[in-house]
């Protein structure tokens, strides 16, 4: 295989308990020891220590804190089927943590489960939440309490057929890979375009077609890559949706790069002018690239990334992609041709 160098790659190498007054222990017979060294008694006398404390770690102070709550405080257009998750800085006992959800009608009933061996709580409402309503999450662990509020999705939307939305890869938040910010400078097709082909309100289906996009000089579909053919997806959570997986092609330093299992989710704003809470996922295939004389998968470890097996053939050489964007906007005058045959 001939490996292709990336123009951005030189940049990779520019990154060059609790105190207790006394503790009782047990001897081999299981009897609490009165060893003066253990009891903190400097005397070597034969005082009978009346302290028969056999407390365990359960008596240690509870000092965990809430480190995250999902949905985030202030989140908009949250799905009516959302699950609430709170994560803690340390594992705790069930009696030391609580989570509740309050809505327009008061306390929401549902199933509360401790997750990750005490490192968090998950709450699943017993019924779909109300649309266009504000909810408050109250999470308490040990001495820490956090309050977060979010708003659910609004009424269903139907009249966005033919609308194309622009996801500018230079503006997204890259959760992974960590080296994505270096890749962006080498990606000529640094836009992903998503056009609504149809919405079937009777069967609750939405059909989108995607394409790589570029500025040449105006934003348009890249003519040298096949469109991204998404299968019709369930739209019962209208205006929230998710499509994929499908395969796509981006252009990096003049070369085609495969993106396997591309998926996209979001929520239509009430006026159709934007997509909110956009998330892009997939697997970026970097097997044909090198950083100098080093294979890309070895080079990106310097930035904390790790290649995993590619979904098309199971061979290691793909980077997991997870990118989020608060809003992707409707691009007037831009469309995606689902029948385009690349001729470049």
Tell me which of 110 and 35 has the higher pLDDT: 110
Tell me which of 295 and 108 has the higher pLDDT: 108
Q: In this structure, is residue 56 part of a structural domain? A: no
Q: What is the mean pLDDT of the chain?
A: 84
* pLDDT of amino acid 40: 41
Tell me which of 269 and 51 has the higher pLDDT: 269
Percentage, residues of the chain above pLDDT 90: 63
Q: Does 216 share its domain with 126?
A: no
Q: Does 137 share its domain with 218?
A: no
Number of domains the chain is built from: 2
Residue 229 pLDDT grade (very low, low, confident, very high; cuts 50, 70, 90):
very high
With 60 as the cut, is the pLDDT of residue 314 above it? yes
Q: Does 217 share its domain with 95?
A: no
Residue 4 pLDDT grade (very low, low, confident, very high; cuts 50, 70, 90):
low
Residue 123 pLDDT grade (very low, low, confident, very high; cuts 50, 70, 90):
very high
Q: What is the mean pLDDT of residues 137-163?
A: 94
* pLDDT of amino acid 42: 42
Question: Is the pTM here over 0.75, yes or no?
Answer: no
| Domain span holding position 76 | 66-152
* pLDDT of amino acid 58: 54
Cα–Cα distance for residue pair 270/104, rounded to 1 Å = 21
With 70 as the cut, is the pLDDT of residue 176 above it? yes
Whether the link from the prior residue into 341 is cis, omega within 30° of 0, is: no
Q: In this structure, is residue 134 part of a structural domain? A: yes
With 50 as the cut, is the pLDDT of residue 278 above it? yes
- Pairing of β 97-103 and β 106-107: antiparallel
With 70 as the cut, is the pLDDT of residue 8 above it? no
| CATH code at position 112 | 2.60.40.1220
Q: Does 121 share its domain with 264?
A: no
* pLDDT of amino acid 17: 34
Backbone angles phi, psi at 58, to 5 degrees: -65, -20
Q: In this structure, is residue 144 part of a structural domain? A: yes
Q: In this structure, is residue 57 part of a structural domain? A: no
Q: In this structure, is residue 11 part of a structural domain? A: no
CA nearest neighbour of 130 among 157, 147, 151, 158: 151
* pLDDT of amino acid 164: 98
Q: Does 180 share its domain with 313?
A: yes
* pLDDT of amino acid 56: 47
Q: Does 260 share its domain with 215?
A: yes
Q: What is the 3-state secondary structure (H, E, C) of the chain?
A: CCCEECCCHHHHHHCCCCCCCCCCCECCCCCECCCHHHHCCCCCCCCCCCCCCCCCHHHCCCCCCEEEEECCCCEEEECCCCCEEEEECCCCCHHHEEEEEEECCEECCEEEEEEHHHCEEEEEECCCCCCCCEEEEEEEECCEEEEEEEEECCCCCCCCCCCEEEEECCCCEEEECCCHHHHHCCECCCEEEEEEEEEECCCCEEEEEEEEEEECCCEEECCCCCCEECCCEECCCCCEEEEEEEEEEEEECCEEEEEEEEEEEEEECCCCCEEEEEEEEEEEECCCEEECCEEHHHHHHHHCCCCEECCCCCCEEEEEEEEEEEEEEECCCCCCCCCCCCCC
Predicted confidence (pLDDT) per residue in 55-87, tens digit: 445 567 899 999 999 999 999 888 898 999 999
Q: Does 274 share its domain with 240?
A: yes
């Amino acid at each position: 295989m001939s490996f292709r160098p990336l123009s951005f790659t030189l940049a990779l190498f520019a990154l060059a308990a609790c105190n207790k007054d006394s503790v009782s222990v047990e001897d081999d017979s299981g009897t609490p020891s009165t060893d003066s060294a253990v009891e903190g008694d400097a005397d070597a006398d034969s005082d009978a220590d009346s302290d028969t404390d056999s407390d365990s770690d359960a008596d240690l102070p509870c000092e965990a804190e809430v480190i995250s709550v999902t949905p985030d405080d202030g989140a908009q257009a949250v799905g009516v089927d959302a699950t609430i998750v709170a994560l803690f800085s340390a594992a705790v006992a069930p009696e030391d943590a609580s989570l509740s959800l309050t809505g327009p009608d008061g306390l929401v009933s549902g199933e509360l489960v401790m997750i990750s061996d005490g490192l968090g709580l998950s709450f699943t409402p017993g019924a779909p939440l109300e649309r266009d309503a504000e909810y408050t999450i109250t999470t308490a662990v040990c001495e820490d309490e956090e309050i977060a509020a979010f708003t659910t999705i609004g009424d269903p939307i139907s009249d966005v057929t033919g609308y194309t939305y622009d996801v500018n890869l230079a503006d997204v938040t890259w959760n992974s890979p960590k080296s994505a910010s270096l890749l962006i400078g080498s990606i000529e097709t640094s836009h992903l375009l998503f056009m609504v082909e149809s919405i079937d309100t009777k069967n609750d289906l939405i059909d989108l077609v995607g394409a790589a996009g570029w500025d040449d000089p105006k934003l348009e579909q890249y003519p040298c890559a096949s469109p991204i053919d998404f299968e019709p997806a369930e739209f019962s959570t209208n205006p929230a949706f998710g499509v994929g997986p499908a395969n796509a092609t981006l252009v990096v330093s003049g070369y085609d790069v495969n993106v396997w299992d591309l998926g996209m989710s979001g929520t239509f704003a009430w006026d159709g002018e934007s997509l909110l809470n956009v998330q892009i996922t997939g697997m970026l295939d970097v097997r044909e690239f090198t950083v100098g004389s080093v294979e890309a998968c070895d080079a990106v470890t310097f930035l904390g990334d790790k290649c995993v097996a590619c979904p098309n053939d199971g061979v290691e050489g793909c980077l997991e992609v997870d990118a989020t964007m608060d809003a992707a906007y409707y691009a007037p005058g831009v469309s995606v041709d689902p029948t385009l045959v690349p001729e470049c």
